[in-house]
Structure 1
Amino acid sequence: MSYPSSAAGGLPPPSSSSSSSSPRIPVIFRRLHRFHQMDFELAAWQLTYLCIAPRRVYRNVYFHKQTKNTWARDDPAILVLISACLAVAAVGWALVYSLSILQTLQLILLMIFRDFLLSGVIISTILWQISRTFLVPPAPPVLAPSTPGPSLARFAPPAPRHDALEWGYTFDTHTNAFFPFYLTLYLAQLFLLPVIRRDNWVCLWLGNTLYLAGFAQYIYGTYLGLSALPFLAHTTLLLAPLLPLGVAYVVSLLGFNVARWVLSVYFGA
């Protein structure tokens, strides 16, 4: 069904629920109970390429938009896989710190719901607002036709709209960026724990570099996700946190062991 254009005096086509001007519960959350419909093979492929060739994952975003008319993914399989990975990591950390079964369950819930989901909701909302405010270019001015006849503005490409960026897509960006972050700070740090907890400068450098790599991967991952959208501009601004991160890393090498401090706060030991 075609809709009359606004230039002809008609109403614009109704917008889809995925492009609402306010955050709504994405489909990916509403389908968490439908395990039989989840494509775990595709989710595993995406997690693999997020580590070795992340740009290849975002090429599929265009196909998803063309087939389902939404930028955000609707299959929660990747959330289930990352949650399972966090549960495995939590068990490993619990064994290292000799936690009880109840404490292990609490750690699993904290890693999944606080570290992954809650932080994702907060960061995604911030990215969503920043992108809508600073990264959507202003609409070009509409010039009056110099000669009688139909306006050429009817044939111009539509200007980017603030509601074109879905909140669900910014959450997808967090999800994609979180997995390399998880591999670095939840798994690699676990295996390197006997080294980075030692009291010498080389171990301090190793631990701090590990945290630098983890957060740099996350920042770069969010940049890749949003720069893949064709209607956003100046997405390199999303790399700005790398500068204070690098400065903090250099200062920390003067004697502040980031890994030991984080673990003391996280586990109280």
Structure 2
Amino acid sequence: MLPTTSMNSRTQGNGTLSSRDAARHTAGAKRYKYLRRLLHFRHMDFEFALWQMLYLFTSPQKVYRNFQYRKQTKDQWARDDPAFLVLLSVWLCVSTLMFGFVLSMGFVETVKLLLWIVFIDCVGVGLLIATFMWFISNKYLVKHQGRDYDVEWGYAFDVHLNAFYPLLVILHFIQLFFIKYVVLSDWFIGYFVGNTFWLIAIGYYIYITFLGYSALPFLKNTVVLLYPFAALILLYVLSLALGWNFTAMLYAFYKYRVN
């Protein structure tokens, strides 16, 4: 006979996880497993990570549906495979090098810019946003307080990465085809095109963030995460009326912090 696993070996009499299985599901154990897999590229599913990146543009609901499947099969919402993070890091490097080349930055300036964008804009700001959203969602959006109704910090960080990727592609890749001769011009068309890119990019970020938290069945009132859309549209209209060019401001800030 084939060996079988008794349900009693995995759970206690009251249906809870045994002490051994419970230890495997702690935040520390999940974090250790995730970081350990960073050193084993052959164990990463890059094909599936590329699928996620594609569908974050075309149908982000399907990406979060997969997160629900992971919860059912592996008892965690957050990714256990760092392939998405690795590919995002590669894309950050490539797009930043392209950004520096198009804007005629020197080699040293481009390297400094790369370090800033990777460790400050993506990782540093991402840690702050993920921690803030993790705290707010667990404090105010959970329907019933309890161990089984808890937003994982790793999932909050995954939601940030999901939302950050389209923003990065729009602002650091697609915009590059227009930035030098259109967006950075002093004409109205310049800040209209540039600010429209920002509107779409940040709008994507807000929407994908909303989808991430609304996918959790134990959260309530997640529609409040769409409220920043009103402030975003108001700021967009105001920027066109006052002639603010967000891309030119970003470029000036990049030049300042790499010099």
Q: TM-score, normalised by structure 1?
A: 0.82
Matches within 5 A, 1:1-269: 1=8, 2-5=11-14, 15=22, 18=25, 25=31, 27-138=33-144, 161=147, 164-193=150-179, 194-254=181-241, 255-268=243-256
Whole-angstrom CA distance in 1 between matches of 2:26 and 2:215: 17
1:207 Cα offset (Å): 1.0
- Partner SS for 1:137: coil
1:187 Cα offset (Å): 0.8
Question: In the alignment, is the contact (CA less than 8 A) between 1:19 and 1:165 conserved in 2?
Answer: no
1:138 Cα offset (Å): 3.7
Whole-angstrom CA distance in 2 between matches of 1:25 and 1:12: 19
* Cα distance per residue 1:77-101 (max 9 Å; x no partner): 1111111111111111221233333
RMSD value, Cα:
2.3
Amino acid at match of 2:151: L
Question: In the alignment, is the contact (CA less than 8 A) between 2:57 and 2:166 conserved in 1?
Answer: yes
* Cα distance per residue 1:234-266 (max 9 Å; x no partner): 111111211211111111111211121121112
Q: TM-score, normalised by structure 2?
A: 0.85
Q: 1:81 to 1:256 in 2, by over 3 A?
A: same
1:25 Cα offset (Å): 4.3
1:3 Cα offset (Å): 2.0
Tell me, which stretches of 5 or more residues in structure 2 are unaligned? 1-7
Question: In the alignment, is the contact (CA less than 8 A) between 1:136 and 1:161 conserved in 2?
Answer: no
Question: In the alignment, is the contact (CA less than 8 A) between 2:182 and 2:189 conserved in 1?
Answer: no
Question: In the alignment, is the contact (CA less than 8 A) between 1:90 and 1:108 conserved in 2?
Answer: yes
